[in-house]
Structure 1
Amino acid sequence: MHYPVEVFTGRVSDYEGSRPSAIAKLQVEGELELTELGLVGDEQAEKKIHGGPDRALCHYPREHYAEWARAFPEQAELFCAPAFGENLSTEGLTEKNVCIGDIFRWGEALIQITQPRSPCFKLNFHFAISDMSAQMQNSGKVGWLYRVIGAGKVSSEQPLELVSRLSDVSVYDAAAIAWHLPFDDEQYHRLLSAAGLSVSWTRTMQKRRIKGQIEDNSRRLWGK
């Protein structure tokens, strides 16, 4: 299957009442260079929690936007790509039908799914919805991140093509294991066994297994 893709990049901007962010992205056409750290011209404000080799690209399913618009009719006009700061937007790929470790060909490049996108508090400011990050996380409609395993030239004129599936852990399952289920060592082991899982998620799941408890996510979701 081939999936046509829209492509977006952004620059870091200041947000009143919040920290700088590059969530506001613009659509780009034509050929782009994709490196191991993402699309040339795309920026991330806080490199500790955004970007890096395991989080080089963010993908969000376009079909989710209609659901968000129905949930928030007063802000309906905001819910269109790339409102969640995604680099890639498609129809036909969702958290339920892609898996951790999936490898896609995109133009000259190869990209691999590493983890669900972890919503953060900046979404609350971006949409002026006080709990947007928590609602996104609870819904499972979070999108996902990629590492670049083969850099090269890419463009919106070239579709995504799934070329390898290395695990049976869907992105939806990974999000459920991380955020929706009570402590479950067996499920953490299942997620850790998924080839291609990001270093940060590997570390988090392993820490849960060692400590026997789930970490506090309130700072990520609420900025406190």
Structure 2
Amino acid sequence: MQYPVNVFTGSVREYEGSRPSAIAKLQVDGELELTERGLVGDEQAEKKIHGGPDRALCHYPREHYADWAREFPEQAELFCAPAFGENLSTVGLTEKNVFIGDIFRWGDALIQVTQPRSPCFKLNYHFGISDMSSLMQSSGKTGWLYRVIMAGKVSSEQPLEMVSRLSDVSVHDAAAIAWHTPYDDEEYRRLLSAAGLSVSWTRTMQKRRLSGHIEDNSRRLWGK
């Protein structure tokens, strides 16, 4: 099945009270170059936690925006693509029907789902909602990230087409295992077995298995 896609890129800008971010993106049309690090012209402010080979592209389901607008009617006009800083926006693909390891063809390129997006505190400043990152994580409406397994020319006029499914762990399942359930070694083993899982999530799940406890995410979610 093919999914028409809107494409967005952004430049780093300053945020009062927060650190610089490239979350504010603009729609781009026509042909683009996709490298192993992402779309040419797209920037990341903090490459240690954004971007890189396993996080080259961010995808957010467009249908979630109606839910957010209903939850925050006073800020409803903010909730449209690409408000969450996504590179790719579609209708029909969600965390429940996209799986870790899924490979999509996009133009000349092949991209692979690596992990749910891990919301960070910059979303709180971006939307002016103090707990936006926490709400995004608890809702499961996180979107997901890709690695580029074959670079090439891509276009906003070319759809995404899923060509391989390599695991039985949906993006929704991965988020639930990581954030919404108590320590469960068997579930961590299940997630670790998902082909294509990012290095950072592999490291986190393995560290939990070795230590027997879940790390504190408050700094990521609240900036503290």
Distance in structure 2 (CA, Å) of the matches to 1:98 and 1:122: 25
1:163 equivalent in structure 2 = 163
Matched, 1:90 2:83: no
Matched to 1:122, the amino acid is K
Distance in structure 1 (CA, Å) of the matches to 2:155 and 2:70: 31
Distance in structure 2 (CA, Å) of the matches to 1:211 and 1:48: 24
Structure 1 SS opposite 2:104: strand
Matches within 5 A, 1:113-152: 113-152=113-152
Unaligned segments of structure 2, at least 5 residues: none
Deviation at 1:5, TM superposition (A): 0.1
Distance in structure 1 (CA, Å) of the matches to 2:205 and 2:155: 35
1:36 equivalent in structure 2 = 36
When normalised by structure 1's length, the TM-score is 1.00
Deviation at 1:30, TM superposition (A): 0.7
Matched, 1:5 2:19: no
Distance in structure 2 (CA, Å) of the matches to 1:167 and 1:218: 30
Matched, 1:196 2:196: yes
1:173 equivalent in structure 2 = 173
Alignment deviations for residues 20-63 of structure 1 (CA, whole Å, 9 cap, x no partner): 00000000001000000000000000000000000000000000
Matches within 5 A, 1:103-118: 103-118=103-118
1:68 equivalent in structure 2 = 68
Deviation at 1:203, TM superposition (A): 0.1
2:216 equivalent in structure 1 = 216
Unaligned segments of structure 1, at least 5 residues: none
Deviation at 1:127, TM superposition (A): 0.2
Structure 1 SS opposite 2:141: coil
Alignment deviations for residues 176-217 of structure 1 (CA, whole Å, 9 cap, x no partner): 000000000000000000000000000000000000000000
Matched to 2:20, the amino acid is P
Deviation at 1:103, TM superposition (A): 0.1
Deviation at 1:8, TM superposition (A): 0.0
2:59 equivalent in structure 1 = 59
Distance in structure 1 (CA, Å) of the matches to 2:193 and 2:223: 31
Q: Which runs of 4+ in 1 moved over 4 A?
A: none
2:17 equivalent in structure 1 = 17
2:77 equivalent in structure 1 = 77
